[in-house]
Every structure is written in structure tokens, then in C-alpha cells.
Amino acid sequence: MSAVMEEKTFRGLREVAVLVFFASALFFFIALVTFSNEDAGWTHSGTTHNIANACGVFGAWLADFSLSFFGLCAYLFPAIIFWHGWLFCKGVKQPQEKILMALPWLGSIAAIISGTALLHLYVLRIGVELPRSTGGIVGEEIGDTALISLGNSGATLFLLVLLIAGITLITNLSWVKLMDIIGKYTVSLFQMVFRPALNSPQEKRLENPVDAAVIPPPKKKSSTKKNPSISVVPHIEQAVAKVVARVEKSSNSAKKAPPKPTKLYKSGESVLPALDLLDNREIRVIGYSQSDLEAMSRLVETILADFNVIVSVVDFHPGPVITRFELQPAAGVKVSRISTLSKDLARALSVTSVRIVEIIPGKTVVGLEIPNREREMVTLRELLVSP
């Protein structure tokens, strides 16, 4: 009787724990979805007394703290809580060894760290209100460090491998089996869609009756046999004459030597033509005017400020093909953050592309090269005259 009571008590406690898991996950998710920068939170004091978050003051603080540190990856926390509640509800037994128990948690940490860094590097803006960047504080630190240490391609490869490893440790997923399953269903879908079209001509051919081949009757052999007439004609002299003619022709072709190349001119001192033979280009100003350059300087500062990158344009140098702006980053601003915003700068400035020069010898500024609206023609005379 006591065993039955203990089982009922344990079942009731497990159901209560499952309800707590599910309610916590739902509360966390609602707090994240209804986050507002106007609410008082962990990073700021707020602008209004009314709390816009559906979960109240605690929900505003929880959402602000999670989104500030982990960015969009904070939305994984409600899913993780819900998943653990589901496992507890199903009564899935956890491994007894400490190493096996720690592997899913290590995988979760690896997946969240790599996910925040990838979001910071490649997802700059999204239609969700956030207190900081899409990767949060963790993504900014990990992503910028990996970008400086490993470069763009190396950092991306390292973070993707870390993300896949984390997912594998969490779910015990076999990627080989997953690829086999995807390939199997792809082949089945291909056969289901294209097999009728491929088999229809053959089926039509099989449906048509095959006409019987008409075989002519065999001819009767005549009883009388005729002896073949053999005529012997001597061809020995003609064959010998052909061989002699070929040998004479090959000997004549071997005797002909190739002609020696003739020199077009005698070697000696030569004088380069004068540069006066080339025409001077008409001086025509096509690039940006002084007012345009000033306006573009302010526009560049405003665009970068929208991404929390504070710089000041200290100088600009217009050229025949591109115009280079010299940017002085504020204290604490990393050059790699400016480099990752090249496409956003090009889109905001309505140009095809821009180039970020991270290091200019002899200066502490960062170069921003923008193509001119119309490129000036550089003549051959200008190239030869220039030092």
C-alpha cells in the first residue's frame, strides 16, 4: 500500500513540475516578444512610467537582460525550458555518468555562443526591437575576436563547426543518417514526379503489336556446279615501281632545308618617341563638388551612428575614379565593425560598392573609398608624365 501511495505522490509531483516548466517557458517567451526599449530594464531606466511588457516589471527586466547579453539567441531559452519539461513529462531517464550529463549542457553553451557571434557578424538589422545588436554583448565580443584572429572566412568556418557540434551534443543527431534520409526522400520524390513522363513512351511501344517479319522462302540450290575461272595477272612490276617512286619522293623532301629567317632591322641604339606626339587631355571636372563632399561626410557619420559606430570624417580626397574619406573612429570602436558595414554603407549612399581601407600608413584614420558618379578618363600621356 505504501508503494502505491509513493507512486501516486511521485506522479503528482512530476505533473506539478511539468506545469512549472511549461508556465516558465511561456512566461519567458511572452516577456521577450513584448519587450520595449521604453520600459525600465537592466540597461536603461526607461522613458515612461507605464510598463509596455505584458509580464510586468520583472518581465521587462528579464527580457532586457537576456536580449542585451544574447541578442536573438535569447529566444532559444524558452524552447530549452519547454524541451526539458517535455522530457521530464515523458519520464526520459538521464544518464548517471557526470560526463554524459554534462555533454548536452556543453552543447547548449557552444550553440548559443556560436549562434550569437554569427548573428552579430551577418544579421545586422531585423524587424524585432532589441536593446543592442542582434548578437548581444556575447556575440559582439566573440564575433569581433574571431574576426580579428581568424579573418572573415576562418571565423565563419570556426563558428559554423562549433554550432553544428553544439547541436549534435544536444540532440544526439547523426548527420550521416540525416543526409541518407534526405537523399532517400529526394530520390523517391524525383521518381514519383518524373517516372510517368519517362515511362510513357516505352509503355506506348509495348502496347503496339509487333508485326511479324516476312521471311522470303529459301531458294532451291541448282544441282549443277560451275568451276570458277582463275586468271593470273602479273602485278609485281607495278608494285615495285610504286615503292621506288615513294622512296624518291621522300628523299627529295628531306633535301629541302627550311629558309633562314631574315632580320627586319639591324641592332643598334634606338630613340624613344617624344611625349609631344600625344595630345593633352582637356581638363574637365566631373567629380563631386565641395558641398557634395561635405554633405556625404555628414551622411556617412549618420549612417554609422545608426549602427552604434561613432566616427568623424576628418578629411576627403577626390580622385578621377574614386573619392576617399578619412574616418576617425571614436575610442573603443573596432575597425572590424566598420568593415562589416560596407554593404549597408553602399546601399545607403546609393552606390554599387564601397571599399574600407583599414590601415593607412602614417595615419590613424580608416579610409572609405566611394566610386564617383562619372569616371574621368586617364590618358596615356598622364601616365607617362606622372612620376
CATH of domain 290-385: 3.30.980.40
Instruction: Tell which phi-psi region holds residue 136, choosing left (phi > 0), alpha (psi between -120 and 50) or beta.
Output: left
Q: What is the mean pLDDT of residues 209-233?
A: 51
Long-range contacts of 305-310 (CB under 8 A, 24+ apart): 307/124, 307/337, 307/341, 307/344, 308/132, 308/133, 309/333, 309/337, 309/338, 309/341
Question: Cα–Cα distance between 227 and 340 in angstroms, integer?
Answer: 98
**pLDDT exceeds 60 at position 234:** no
Query: Residues 74-100: what's their mean pLDDT?
Result: 75
Task: Let me know how long the chain is.
Answer: 387
* Backbone torsions φ then ψ of 163, nearest 5 degrees: -65, -45
The domain spans of the chain are: 2-177, 290-385
Given this model, what pLDDT does residue 258 score? 65
Q: What is the pTM of this model?
A: 0.46
Does residue 280 carry a pLDDT above 90? no
* % of the chain beyond a pLDDT of 90: 9
Q: What is the dihedral of CA 167, 170, 172, 175, to 10 degrees?
A: 0
Q: Average pLDDT, stretch 250-276?
A: 63
What pLDDT is recorded for position 384? 78
Residue 202: the pLDDT is 52
Report whether 159 contacts 124 (CB < 8 A).
no
| CA 323/CA 373 separation, integer angstroms | 10
**Highest mean pLDDT of the ranges 30-39, 121-130, 140-149:** 140-149
Percent of the chain with pLDDT over 70: 70
The rounded Cα 100 to chain-centroid distance in angstroms is: 34
Reported confidence tier of residue 382, pLDDT bands at 50, 70, 90: confident
Residue predicted with more confidence, 307 or 378:
307
pLDDT tens across 20-64, in order? 888 988 998 998 888 887 777 777 666 667 788 888 888 888 888
Give kind and range of the element (H or E) at residue 315.
strand 311-318
pLDDT in tens, 166-209: 888 877 777 788 888 888 888 888 888 877 665 555 555 555 55
* pLDDT value of residue 4: 62
* pLDDT class of 1 with cuts at 50, 70, 90: very low
Note the pLDDT of residue 167: 84
| Predicted confidence (pLDDT) at residue 307 exceeds the cutoff of 50 | yes
Task: Return the minimum-mean-pLDDT range out of 27-41, 270-284, 335-349.
Answer: 270-284
Average pLDDT, the chain: 77
Q: What is the mean pLDDT of residues 65-91?
A: 83
136: nearest Cα among 63, 28, 81: 63
- 367 pLDDT band (50/70/90 cuts)? very high
Q: Return the higher-pLDDT residue of 359 and 126.
A: 359
Q: How many CB atoms are located within 10 Å of the residue 70 CB?
A: 23
What per-residue confidence (pLDDT) applies to 213?
46
- As beta bridge partners, residue 327 has 313, 366
